[in-house]
A = this chain, B = another copy of it.
């Protein structure tokens, strides 16, 4: 196989994209965001360090952002949920005069490879979805306090908030100038949220998204682009009043937070080791073998004991480790196209934790842990890698961990107790089983609003009912296959050969075709704001990113700021 250059973006190869992006950070290391807490209201203030770009080659002027800025925002949203049980409203505002945020940095986009742009957009989309998740499920309502202009990705950030207040100073506006200025879409949810969340009329959305200057004042309110405009003199009070009103409706409680201490992440060659997750990178085979270790002790008793464990509480540790690994592999290991998931441990202990998550669902911390697991599993659903679950003796695909298998594109399950010696499999472990838990019936909806079991059996309600009727049963390969929970169930004689074939086959296929195919297969049935953003909007944006009109040498992204207008191929396609 030859490595082809990204032909549509000739100079992108020259840009010094970092060999490795690190997602771990903490407030004391933030360069771009300030996080302050005042009673039930936290404030996130964006004041971007112009010289603090993640990659050389651009300055982050006018509160524009790159991936590094967004990594801090993601970290802040996570810490707010876990470290600040008393925060019930989060105000997002800008720290520059008359400028909230100018959106994604254009020179950064112009110099970036296609893969970098796509990964950047996916992560920023996930972070904005996480803000909506905080509002809906975390009892933390996000409010955008637009102290100045919110342009492009800046306004898209505001759109992810529950409420938007714009300062009325005669000049500050909200705008989506991507189409007229850059020849690309407001692809971080902008187009979708304007019409599907804010319910802006189609023709007004059209005017708004083609007008560089955007909208302000009464028009912005009348069209539904913002909730209110307030003169500068009353702006802080108005924002505070909204934040306090939102906080007053929150059911969030809890006195003591859980500090998200650094993960114990270690690497030895091509092996990444975390306390409960290990990844072995096979560069020749272009895959990653990921093994999740189940909990090694029963859950602690009661909410207080759970809180005392904090980051060491197994379900939270699992979510954090899996989240970190997914982000690392997705961004830094593009060549590893297949992720193979295994588990090791005791299914009953996994289910005991699940039972506790259910039992203590009203506890703020347990609620946060459950939703974090949900968000992490959602990351898998939109990951452009082939996902394969390998269910062997000694595995613990039960309840929450069964969701990992269900998120995969295929499930391979070894049938029976191996008589042959098989690499990595304990001959004393007995036959592989998997177990459906109560949690699989609803705790972890996908972006389409369905559970992974509902998606799997879409249009086959009887089959779904049959599976749920087996809740708690240890299902061997024959039973799992009969119920439709696994794809193939080779015996020990065929096992290694079957795995070898599927992994080699996967590595031989077009990575792009696999990405498109998996994105379509994974989301059946209904669509939501979220699936529209990741499916429809993102796909159109990725297409546009490749077109010469955007990324060619005379395209709008490359010509922006040059004083020369873009030269377009004027054919409509």
Contact = CB atoms under 8 A, between A and B. Distances in A.
Contact of A568 (B4, B505, B516): B4
Given A385-B572, A569-B3, A549 B510 contact: yes
Given A335-B570, A521-B206, A573-B515, A201 B543 contact: no
Interface stretch (A48-56, A177-185, A390-398, A469-477): A177-185
A572 B4 contact: no
Contacts of A521: 191, 195, 202, 205-206, 209
B572 A515 contact: yes
Contact of A520 (B185, B484, B506): B185
Given A203-B409, A520-B537, A543-B539, A1 B570 contact: yes
A205 B523 CA distance: 12
Given A2-B554, A115-B573, A335-B571, A513 B457 contact: no
A334 to B, nearest CB: 4
A569 to B, nearest CB: 4
Interface stretch (A137-145, A349-357, A525-533): A525-533
Interface in A85-123: 114-115, 118-119
Given A2-B567, A4-B567, A539-B540, A573 B203 contact: no
A204 interface: yes
A266 to B, nearest CB: 25
A3 B179 CA distance: 19
Contacts of A202: 409, 455-456, 521-522, 524
A337 interface: yes
A307 interface: no
A430 B255 CA distance: 71
Contacts of A547: 512, 546
Contacts of A199: 458-460
B571 A179 contact: no
Interface string A243-259: 00000000000000000
A115 B520 CA distance: 23
Give this chain's copy count. Answer: 2
Contact of A512 (B484, B519, B573): B573
Contact of A573 (B7, B114, B536, B556): B114
A183 B510 contact: yes
A267 to B, nearest CB: 21
B455 A550 contact: no
Contacts of A286: 570
A345 interface: no
A192 B566 CA distance: 36
A25 interface: no
A185, A456, A521 — which one has the most chain B CB atoms within 10 A of its CB?
A521
B204 A524 contact: no
A519 B546 contact: no
Given A210-B505, A456-B201, A185 B3 contact: no
A527 B524 contact: no
Contacts of A129: none
A179 B517 contact: yes
Contacts of A532: 520, 527, 535
Interface of A: 1-8, 114-115, 118-119, 178-180, 182-185, 191-192, 195-196, 199, 201-207, 209-210, 286, 334-337, 384-385, 408-411, 455-460, 484, 486-487, 505-507, 509-527, 532, 535-537, 539-544, 546-550, 552, 554, 556, 566-573
Given A179-B514, A202-B455, A512-B544, 5 more contacts: A4-B567, A114-B573, A195-B458, A202-B409, A335-B570
Query: Sorted from nearest, which 10 A-B pairs have the closest CB atoms?
Result: A199-B459, A183-B510, A539-B539, A516-B540, A527-B527, A334-B571, A4-B569, A535-B536, A2-B567, A203-B487
22 contacts: A1-B568, A1-B570, A4-B569, A6-B548, A195-B521, A199-B458, A201-B457, A202-B521, A203-B409, A204-B487, A210-B505, A334-B573, A335-B570, A337-B572, A384-B573, A510-B566, A513-B549, A516-B544, A519-B536, A519-B540, A520-B540, A543-B543
